[in-house]
Amino acid sequence: MGNDPACTTGLCGTDVPPLVGSVLTGVGMTLPQAARALEQGRELQLTDVQRRLVEQWAERQLGDPAR
């Protein structure tokens, strides 16, 4: 993803979406599953966009103890 210099957003027309429904494409995990796996030190083949999505999801969960 994002190898095209004209694609400055990291998500361009010919790229596979980072998420389909609630599942990370190419990884087969949901955001919570991926966050747990990263927390456990597992290596996941995530794109930069997917990694940011997982990190943001985890930050929101930690920031809201009611969840």
pTM of the model: 0.71
Q: Specify the DSSP element, H or E, that contains 29.
A: strand 29-30
List, for residues 56-67, the tens digit of each pLDDT value. Answer: 999 999 876 555
Domain boundaries, the chain: 19-63
Tell me the chain's radius of gyration from C-alpha atoms: 13
pLDDT category at 39 given cuts 50, 70, 90 is very high
Residues pairing with 24 in the sheet: 19, 29
**What was the pLDDT predicted at 53?**
95
| Unique residue bearing structure tokens 């599942």 | 23
**What was the pLDDT predicted at 6?**
73
